[in-house]
Amino acid sequence: MNAAEVIEQIKGLPPAERAQVARFVMEQDDSWIPDEFKEAMKDAEAGRFVDMETALHETPPPRLQ
């Protein structure tokens, strides 16, 4: 089966099942997500972030200048 045939099969599914297929594809292939975004998410998960107001209005610590 080729991609066009798979797409036609997906189009024939009920909305809930199409959503399930879309979720599966997004979880299996993250090549469409920029590497910079993935790195930023890792930083956020590790607690290495600052809110925008602080970033715009406060002087960063010397180690970051």
**C-alpha span between 50 and 1 (Å, rounded):** 48
pLDDT (mean) for 24-52: 91
Query: What confidence score (pLDDT) does residue 10 get?
Result: 96
Which of 5-14, 35-44, 55-64 has the least mean pLDDT? 55-64
- Looking at the structure of the chain, the number of domains it has is 1
The arithmetic mean of pLDDT across residues 17-34, rounded, is 92
Q: In this model, does residue 50 exceed pLDDT 90?
A: no
| Its pTM surpasses 0.75 | no
- What pLDDT shows up at residue 65? 67
Range of the domain at 31: 3-64
